[in-house]
Amino acid sequence: MDNISEKDLQELLKLKKKQKKKGRFSKFVVTLVILLNAIFTTAVLYIYLQVGSEPVTLIGAWFAFTTGELWMLSSIKKKKVRNEDEYRDNY
């Protein structure tokens, strides 16, 4: 087994904590978008029951916006993963 000094062990623990915190923002955004989509859908259904017509343009714009946000977030994540893999391959 490798001999790891106390300092190295503490450094590894700090890095592990940072890695756990990295994904919190994206998980929060995804959860928030899902929650907001559910609230929006409920509100649109309620309005449809009251008025009898649906706001087609608003619905399209809303879901285009939230889909775009999730798509960009996933693109950022893919790029980070790709960069980490390239870094590991080089060293």
Decide: pTM greater than 0.75: no
Task: For 32-42, give one letter per residue: b (16+ CB within 10 A) or e.
Answer: ebeeeeeeeee
Cα–Cα distance measured from residue 74 to residue 71, given in angstroms and rounded to the nearest whole number? 5
Give the model's confidence band at 89: pLDDT under 50 very low, under 70 low, under 90 confident, else very high: confident
Q: Is the pLDDT of residue 11 over 70?
A: yes
Per-residue pLDDT of 16-65, as tens digits, reads 777 666 678 889 999 999 999 999 999 999 999 999 999 999 999 999 99
Instruction: Kindly indicate the confidence band of residue 75, based on its pLDDT and cuts at 50, 70 and 90.
Output: very high
* Cβ proximity of 69 and 32 under 8 Å: no
